[in-house]
Each structure stands twice: as structure tokens, then as C-alpha cells.
């Protein structure tokens, strides 16, 4: 709708969104991150942090093994 030049206030009114600021935030998140930006992320932060730690640990382990192979 916004691409058609309709003002944000009009879009919010048509969709029943009372807070135009919230609509602006959603539009910005979509513009920056696509569909991922609009997904629900609450409660998943710990899971993501755990996965990030695991990836870092595995990368470090790979680096150590590569260096060990070079030494051999």
C-alpha cells in the first residue's frame, strides 16, 4: 500500500492500527530485514545465543585442528 503513495496514517486507519508509530517500525523492519524482521523473536533470544556460542566454539575447534594438521 505504501508503495502506492498512500499515507501511513491512512494505512493504519484502514488496518485498524491505532499507533502509526508502530506501523512505521514494522515498515522499517520489513525494509531492513524482509520477512525475518516481522517474525516473533521474544523468548528465542537464549536459544540464539546458545547457537551462536556453539558456532564460535566449533569454528575455534576447526582452526585448532587445521593448525595441528599443518604442524604434522
pLDDT digits (tens, 9 = 90+) for 31-68: 888 887 887 766 666 666 778 888 999 999 999 999 98
Alpha helices (runs of H) in 16-44, residue ranges in sequence order: 20-33
On the question of pLDDT at 30 being above 80, the answer is yes
The pTM (predicted TM-score) of the whole model is: 0.48
Integer Cα distance of 57 and 61 in angstroms: 6
Q: What's the confidence (pLDDT) of residue 41?
A: 67
Q: What's the confidence (pLDDT) of residue 38?
A: 82
Q: What is the DSSP letter of 31?
A: H
Amino acid at each position: 500500500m505504501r508503495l502506492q503513495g498512500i499515507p501511513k496514517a491512512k494505512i493504519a486507519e484502514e488496518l485498524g492500527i491505532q499507533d502509526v508509530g508502530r506501523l512505521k517500525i514494522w515498515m522499517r523492519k520489513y525494509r531492513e530485514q524482509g520477512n525475518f524482521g516481522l517474525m516473533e523473536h521474544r523468548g528465542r533470544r537464549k536459544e540464539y545465543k546458545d547457537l551462536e556460542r556453539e558456532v564460535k566454539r566449533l569454528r575455534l575447534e576447526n582452526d585448532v585442528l587445521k593448525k595441528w594438521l599443518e604442524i604434522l
